[in-house]
């Protein structure tokens, strides 16, 4: 079969197509890895939202501010921590991009 293809397309074209196929395979593997990472991030975000929902519900079930206050403080602490993590993540993405724009 290979000899037949070589006669029709020529060795140069076969080699070029082989290189392109290998490049596409590598790109596919990279995209699968990225998809897996994104799915893990999404699952974690869903878990965080469900946890926050439970914390808010528990907060609303308390009969007084004195009983709510520690729960509110925990919720605020967790929210602040997540906001700082997200800010750092965005900064880690944007800074290299900004440097590319202004240094090129």
Q: Give the pLDDT of residue 11.
A: 81
Q: Domain ranges in the chain?
A: 1-44, 62-104
Mean pLDDT, 10 residues at a time, the chain of 104 residues: 75 88 96 94 93 94 95 94 93 92 83
Q: Give the pLDDT of residue 1.
A: 67
pLDDT tens figures, 32-52 = 999 999 999 999 999 999 999
Q: State the SS3 of the chain.
A: CHHHHHHHHCHHHHHHHHHHHHHHHHHHHHHHHHHHHHHHHHHHHHHHHHHHHHHHHHHHCCCCHHHHHHHHHHHHHHHHHHHHHHHHHHHHHHHHHHHHHHHC
CA–CA gap between residue 71 and residue 62 (Å, rounded): 9
CA–CA gap between residue 79 and residue 74 (Å, rounded): 9
Share of the chain above pLDDT 70, in %: 97
């Amino acid at each position: 079969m290979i000899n037949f293809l070589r006669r029709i397309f020529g060795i140069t074209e076969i080699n070029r197509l082989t290189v392109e196929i290998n490049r596409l395979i590598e790109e596919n593997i990279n995209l699968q890895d990225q998809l897996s990472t994104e799915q893990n991030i999404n699952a974690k975000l869903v878990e965080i939202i469900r946890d926050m929902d439970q914390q808010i519900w528990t907060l609303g079930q308390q009969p007084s501010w004195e009983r709510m206050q520690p729960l509110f403080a925990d919720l605020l602490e967790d929210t602040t921590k997540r906001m700082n993590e997200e800010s750092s993540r965005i900064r880690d993405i944007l800074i290299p991009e900004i440097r590319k724009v202004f240094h090129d």
